[in-house]
Amino acid sequence: MNLIPKAVAAIAVVLPSFAFAGTWVVDPAHAQAKFTVKHMMVMDVTGTLGKVNGTIEMDEKDMTKSTVEISIDVDPNTQEAKRDAHLKGPDFFDVEKFPKATFKSKKIAKAGKDKFKVTGDLTLRDVTKEVVVDVTMTPEYTHPFTKAPVRAVVGTTKINRLDYGLKWQVPMANNALFVGNDVKIEVSAEIGPKQAEAAQQEAAKEETKPAAEAAKAADAGVKSAPKK
């Protein structure tokens, strides 16, 4: 049973409330968290973490009054099985003891058009430190399946891994670092109104279907959308 048309009809009732404020949520099917660190001072190694969830209490009139909470499953993947196993162990993330990383905003400041400086607490391995995240957010677009508004956000920050207890290292000549201490973190995600969350989940399923079936689902969404 295709739930998208019914979901679109329900969304049409609640969307006006998003003109100025509302709860937006991360779409985990279209979100990822990446980390990048230097290897032997010469090469960047980039990996992904696990599933990203989050909530944004958005104030469209004054975005600096918005709040952000993000949760990330810690499941490092660098496309190298032995390295990933090491990263998951006690020398690094120790995922059995500390399976999640979280971020909770404390302050948001404008930093240009569609750009913000978000100050908040990052918790990793049960250690909490304040960080500043550079965030870019797109204007609203309309989802082709749900007809609900959708935006994309990208946040980047840099941490010193030693601050969070990731201290494993190999001595090298001239005090060089086998594993760099500075780690760049980037989280990117599509976000949408919480009321549209169920429809987003159904839409994610439609995106995996062959092109003809996906187009049919999108067309059903168009037909069930309210006429302006």
How far lies 79's CA from each of 28, 46, 82, 84, in Å?
21, 9, 9, 8
Find tokens 């993000």 and name the residue.
70
For residue 188, what pLDDT is reported? Answer: 98
How buried is 20 (Cβ within 10 angstroms: 0-12 exposed, 13-18 middle, 19+ buried)? exposed
pLDDT score of 12: 45
Q: With a cut of 70, say whether residue 227 has pLDDT above it.
A: no
Domain of 79, in residue numbers:
4-224
**Predicted confidence band at 13 (pLDDT cuts at 50, 70, 90)?**
very low
Query: Of 57, 52, 160, which is closest to residue 105 (Cα–Cα)?
Result: 57
Q: What does each C-alpha distance from 194 to 71, 150, 204 come to in angstroms?
A: 16, 11, 15
pLDDT value of position 138: 94
pLDDT (0 to 100) of residue 175: 84
| Separation CA 71–CA 103 (nearest Å) | 7
- pLDDT per residue as tens digits for the range 51-92: 999 999 999 899 999 999 999 999 999 999 999 999 999 999
Tokens of residue 219, six digits? 């067309």
Summarize the confidence of residues 100-117 as an average pLDDT: 97
Distances (CA, A) of 95 to 55, 72, 90, 130: 23, 12, 8, 22
CATH code where residue 139 lies: 2.40.128.110
Q: How many domains does the chain have?
A: 1
Judged against a pLDDT cut of 60, whether residue 17 lies above it is answered with no
